[in-house]
Amino acid sequence: MGKLHESISDRLAAFMLAQPVFFVATAPSATDGHVNLSPKGLGGTFAVLDPHRVAYLDYTGSGVETIAHLRENGRIVIMFCAFDGPPNIVRVHGRGEPVFPSDPRFPLLRAAFPPAGRMPEKGLRSIIEVTADRISDSCGYAVPLMDFREHRDVLDRWTERKTADQLDQYHLEKNSASIDGLPGLLPAPAVQTS
């Protein structure tokens, strides 16, 4: 049923790139910390960089769990499911790193993706780069068959309405720290004590 792969083959890459949604899971090091699982989508936001590295565009969101967890311990798994066609699940376990727009590596990584097209660049927080240490696929027999209609444009419209200052304020308020208090995009605000 399941199979381990030494690298991301052309077949696996084609499967991953064809999926309209994928899932990202991370966890803090603390045993009482919250595990995070996030759906990701929007066409053109995932790239296979080479047989052992993948990346995805990380846009502004309501939280910053993935970035915070990666900054703490680097552990990540990305999962793709076939919701149409032959059943299949592909998982890429590895070490991830958020690469921020201020990082000199950012432009080269960004070039691995299609041009921004409909996604505004100003909402792009980071590029999550993952080096795989385990690549596997499994049957996916229990994954339901579903029809894909279209990508939502709500994030696009929300981001377009924000100024750069408003996005910075949002990041400060919502993306400074994880729900467990780990550093996110910016240093967390100082805790006031009396």
Structure tokens at 68: 């915070």
Question: Considering the domain boundaries, does residue 190 fall inside one?
Answer: no
Question: Considering the domain boundaries, does residue 120 fall inside one?
Answer: yes
Neighbour tally for 25: CB within 10 Å: 18
Distance CA 81, CA 71 (A): 27
Specify the pLDDT at position 194.
Answer: 36
Question: Considering the domain boundaries, does residue 185 fall inside one?
Answer: no
Question: Considering the domain boundaries, does residue 38 fall inside one?
Answer: yes
Question: Considering the domain boundaries, does residue 52 fall inside one?
Answer: yes
Structure tokens at 192: 């006031």
Domain count, the chain: 1
Question: Considering the domain boundaries, does residue 79 fall inside one?
Answer: yes
CATH number at residue 39: 2.30.110.10
Distance CA 93, CA 90 (A): 10
Specify the pLDDT at position 121.
Answer: 77
pTM: 0.91
Question: Considering the domain boundaries, does residue 14 fall inside one?
Answer: yes
Specify the pLDDT at position 143.
Answer: 96
Specify the pLDDT at position 2.
Answer: 82
Written as tens digits, the pLDDT of the chain (194 aa) is 689 999 999 999 999 999 999 999 999 999 999 999 999 988 889 999 999 999 999 999 999 999 999 999 999 999 999 999 999 999 999 999 999 999 999 999 999 998 765 555 778 999 999 999 999 999 999 999 999 999 888 888 898 899 989 998 999 999 999 999 999 996 544 433 33
The stretches of the chain forming alpha helices (DSSP H) are 10-18, 65-72, 106-110, 154-160, 164-174
Question: Considering the domain boundaries, does residue 147 fall inside one?
Answer: yes
Specify the pLDDT at position 116.
Answer: 60
Q: Is 101 helix (H, G, I), strand (E, B) or coil?
A: coil
Question: Containing domain of residue 127, as a range?
Answer: 3-174
Specify the pLDDT at position 189.
Answer: 41
Specify the pLDDT at position 193.
Answer: 37
